[in-house]
Every structure is written in structure tokens, then in C-alpha cells.
Structure 1
């Protein structure tokens, strides 16, 4: 399916545990069932069998613990996984991933980079495969699900400014996938003002008038951010084993 291209994955594990109520441990290292959240996510990317190399980008003080985690929980795919330091922001972390692959892998104009949140352990093989396919065909894609709730816009935080048409709205997930060198070029073109408004890499493409294809996500592809999310994820993990 990768059409002879080099395909790389960057698992973004730079988050902290603050919103989870555990500032001492980044949330990706919390246990979900019998293994850490990060290990579940890594297993999905290894099992899909599409990647020439995988990099985990984590806080620098946690790099050795990440390597130890891989040896304990993911021993069968350690040989193709690198552990690298993340950056101060999400976009800095993506830049670090790009730099790693450019310096250590066979990157060319056809190479694909799939980026994914470490704390979305329920990503499916179908979603990953469709990301690679869409990135090859269109150059960039985002994983989304249709918005189910009415979205209310407020410019001042006190009163409604607008209620957009829900049928045109989607909630973003990950993976987000790109032609690697095109993403590198676009990121290097950003001004400091543009950097300040970025929430993710797909925003860069919209700023430059580039198209980003949509890949259908799944409500189960949840991001574990708050204690309630971990309880829901634990329930999902239990159901998947029933």
C-alpha cells in the first residue's frame, strides 16, 4: 500500500500529567489494564506493519524510562523504534521528529510522516492505513469525526457570537499524516505570529492555502486527558477483551 515509499511514524508523547491530576508522571505512562497507555499505542503502530521506522518523542527526563518501557512491554518491535526528546510545544516536537528522520533515515520527496498522540491507544489499523493512503494521494490528511453536539462560538467568553452549521463541523483526532519534506518546508516558512496561533500541523496547511484530506476517525479513538477519560478507556479495554 505504501507504493515503495518510506513511511515513518512519530508518536507524540510530550504531554504532562497535570490535567490528569498527577503532575509527577506524564499521562502516557499511566497504566491502562496491564500495561502503560504508551505501550498500547506503540503496539498498534508496530502491528500494522507499514513503517520503516518509528520515533517516540517524549520529555527528555523520561527518555530512559520510555526505553525501559519498550523493552518490557514491546520487545518484539524495539529494533525499529527510536526514543527522542520532544520539544517545548507540539510543533517543536513534530520538528524534532522530522529532524530525526531526515538525519537517520532514507528520506526523499516521496516519504510519508504519520504523527499520532501517544494517549490515543485505541487507534485502529484501518485509521492508520487510510492515513498513509491519503497522505500519499493528497500530501496531507487529518483524522476527524463529525461533530455531534451543536458548537457555540463566543468571541468574548460571555455571550454567543455565532452558532456554526454543525453539518460542516468535525472534531479533530490523530493521526495527522503528511508528505514529510513538504511539511518540513511549510514549518520552516512560518512567521512568529503564525507560530503563535498554531494548534497542530494541519493548521499550517490551511494558512498556506493547501488542501488537507479528511480520514474518517472513530469515537473510540479517544484522547486520554482527564481522570474520567482513563475510567472510560479502562471500560473500553475491558469490553474489548470480553
Structure 2
């Protein structure tokens, strides 16, 4: 089974909207999260979708999703955590409790606020995770990346050729991901403080294969991003 975990548990403070988390804002004629979900609905490989939402917004998310055609896809909405890692762990636990985990199950996780994901990226993630166990979607960085240890002075300038920007999806063999979370607990590592799932995953001895992302696969986190996304959406409809 191919599961999709749509990560929509953020509250969107950088969008400067107190009334509505960013994933529920409209992009064109539909909410951002719906634009994202529809890309998974139309992928024949994806069997079930689990949406992770803020605790106070799960009913809102369910009601919103039910307003739109899910194209026959089975959807569940669950409560997320304080960071991406905890939210993905919640998805793994939900699947374990409700369906069980088979050796060849795949979980493709994706930010709800990246609505321009393509079918090519979804397919490449699934096939790569099937073959190698895990996939990380990346693009080359156009800017030089620098490091500052104190936030005031330049500490390091890594080689640009080695620097990549991680997007989502991040995709895993579900059994291996579940084992990783158990290993973290056994090693007493802190899931609460680890905001980057990929970093936690490789720190436990696992590897992730790279999949090409796209620059249009942007993450909408502030008002400027939303303006750019609106322009991109209009361009695609021309």
C-alpha cells in the first residue's frame, strides 16, 4: 500500500493571519491544502491519504476536505505535533494501529503548503523509496549558503557544489521508518527537538536517496510566497 501523509499541522505565524492557518487560505479558487491534496487524489499509486492538522483545526480540516471531490480516495484527518518529525510519527502510529504495516508499504510525506508538486515527483519518490528504502526531494541552490555560529559573523562558507535545498516529498519504506522511530526511543534521542526528519533518519544509520525536485515546488509560508504562488497558478492556467 502507498500511503500519503500530508503535513498540515503548522499554524502559519509568518503569514500574519491570526484567524486561519496558512494551509487553509485560498490559492486561486481553492484552499492551498485542497490544491495539494488533489495532486495525490489523481495519482493511481496512492491508496490512502492521512492529513495531519493542528489539534484545534481537525474538524475544520475534515469539513473543508469534504466540500471537495476526493475522487474516491480514502482520507483520514489526525492531530499533528509541534514539529514535522512528531507529525510523521503520528502518521506512522495511525497506520500501524488501523491497518498494520507490511514489508512493502510506502509512506510519502509532503507539506500541505507545497501545492505545485508534480506527478513526476510523486512517482519518482515512490519508485526510489521502493528500491532504496527512502527518498529526499532536493534542488540545487542558486545562492551561496553561509554558516554563522553566532548570528552576527560569518563562520563558514560550504562548497556550493555540495549544497542542496531539501523540499518535500520525503518518502520511506514504512517498516523501516517505524523501526527508526523505535530505535530513536531506545537510544533516548529527542524527537521533540529534532525538527528535520531527514537528519534524524540518517543519524540512526539509515540512508536516503536523492530525487530531483522542481523550483516551482515552492513552500507557501508568508504573504510574498502567496503572491508568487497566485502568479504561478495564473500562468499555468493561460
| TM-score of Structure 1 vs Structure 2, range by shorter chain | over 0.9
Secondary structure of 2:71's aligned partner: helix
Alignment equivalent of 1:133, drawn from 101, 106, 127 = 127
Secondary structure of 1:63's aligned partner: helix
Relative to the length of structure 1, the TM-score reads: 0.93
Alignment of 1:1-242 (within 5 A): 6-77=1-72, 79-190=73-184, 191-195=187-191, 197-242=193-238
Please state how far the C-alpha of 1:197 moved relative to its aligned partner.
Answer: 5.0
What CA distance in whole angstroms lies between the structure 2 residues aligned with 1:140 and 1:107?
16
Matched-pair contact (CA < 8 Å) for 2:38–2:70: no
**Which stretch of structure 1 is more off in the superposition, 28-37 or 154-163?**
154-163
Corresponding residue pairs, total: 236
Please state how far the C-alpha of 1:125 moved relative to its aligned partner.
Answer: 0.3
Please state how far the C-alpha of 1:67 moved relative to its aligned partner.
Answer: 1.6
**Which stretch of structure 1 is more off in the superposition, 194-203 or 14-23?**
194-203
Q: Structure 1 pair 157/15, CA: closer, same or farther in 2 (3 Å)?
A: same
Q: Structure 1 pair 171/238, CA: closer, same or farther in 2 (3 Å)?
A: same
Q: Deviations over 1:129-168 (max 9, x none)?
A: 0000010011011000011100111111121111110011
Identify unmatched segments of 5+ residues in structure 2.
none
Secondary structure of 1:76's aligned partner: coil
Relative to the length of structure 2, the TM-score reads: 0.94
**Which stretch of structure 1 is more off in the superposition, 203-212 or 163-172?**
203-212
Identify unmatched segments of 5+ residues in structure 1.
1-5
Secondary structure of 1:99's aligned partner: helix
Q: 1:3 maps to which residue?
A: none
Q: Deviations over 1:190-218 (max 9, x none)?
A: 25554355232211222123221000000
Q: Structure 1 pair 138/75, CA: closer, same or farther in 2 (3 Å)?
A: closer
